[in-house]
Amino acid sequence: MADILIQTFTSTLLSMLKIFLIIPAAGILIRKNVLSRNNLHALSVATVDVFLPCLSFTSILKNFRPGEFDIWWVLPTAGILITLTGMLLGWLAFFRELPEKRNMIPMTGVQNAGFLILPLGAVLFPDQFELFSVYVFMFVIGQSLPIWSLAKQMTTAEPGTRLQCKDMLTPPLVATLLAIALVFAGLHPFFFAPQGPQSSGIINTALATVFEAVQLLGQATVPLAIFILGGVLGSISFKLRPYLWDAIRVLSIKFILLPVLTILIVYFSGLRESIPLLAVFFVIQSSSAPAIALVLQVKKYGGNEQKIGSVLLLSYIACLLMMPLWVAVWNLISHF
């Protein structure tokens, strides 16, 4: 059993290292002034307003097929529940210091559900990656709602600012809802060129061409977001002492309480026997670091960049060890 634990931990850790190498490289470029902070800000705005909505729109339109995946509703529901459960635990940990520390609440519940998980899944599950990617997109559908509404307000607004509906209507959220509506309306086939010798109409051809162009833009999102994360972490003055107690609470919830709760629920749900890939997917999601979207939100909409960046940096360092550990623990439990 020890061999299973060590082997799984090592393979997951090596997979994550391939992704994490981008972060210090971006930080060095900012520190050495190869790229300025203004360049980084412009890149962040473009990613939030253009590239991320393109990725969300095309991914959902291409992969979301409610009729072919009977339990599709479990994934967006889990995306909402895991996020809100983490934020509830965060509220309990910080409620005596609210509203001043409400920007810590999203850090405990909003995980990196796509940018980190997708490339990790490609390395860990190459033979099942197409199915794994569908899980990711379905999960992100549910997670997008609290991220770009409640979490965005908590992260970027000044203490005492009231939540306003217009502040929730961000480009990524609009793109997500539009794509879901098109799928349920049955209009998504018009965005894809038909396969085979049959010809397509002018409208179909035009929409398919537009879709491919939008998809091309969306493909830039993952490397850009990881690069921005490294650039933000590299551009701030890292100060741990003022935020040490806050960071301890965030890391305890993010990498201990939430994964333990998830593993217990998944274990007793029977998913490990019926859909093992989905079971390990939930374990991976629950032990992921806070979302890069929090960095993008702070860079575009404002907020305590130094505090968010400092706690986020510690979270990604912890994730590098804790995610492989929980995946290894789950793999060990699955053998019983």
Structure tokens at 42: 């412009």
CATH number at residue 236: 1.20.1530
User: pLDDT over 70 for what percent of the chain?
Assistant: 90
pTM for this entry: 0.79
Q: How many domains does the chain have?
A: 1
What confidence score (pLDDT) does residue 136 get? 85
pLDDT digits (tens, 9 = 90+) for 283-315: 999 999 988 778 777 777 777 777 887 888 889
Q: Map residue 111 onto helix, strand or coil.
A: strand
> For 75-79, 181-185, 219-223, which range has the lowest pLDDT when averaged over its residues?
219-223
pLDDT digits (tens, 9 = 90+) for 59-107: 888 878 888 777 888 898 999 999 999 999 999 999 888 888 888 888 8
More confident residue, 162 or 10: 10
Q: What is the DSSP string of 117-183?
A: HHHHHHHH-GGGHHHHHHHHHHHHHHHHHHIIIIIHHHHHSPTTPPP-HHHH--HHHHHHHHHHHHH
Domain residues for the domain of 18 are 2-334
pLDDT digits (tens, 9 = 90+) for 10-63: 877 877 777 777 778 888 888 888 888 788 888 888 888 899 889 888 888 887
303 alpha carbon, distance to own chain's centre? 20
Structure tokens at 334: 């699955």
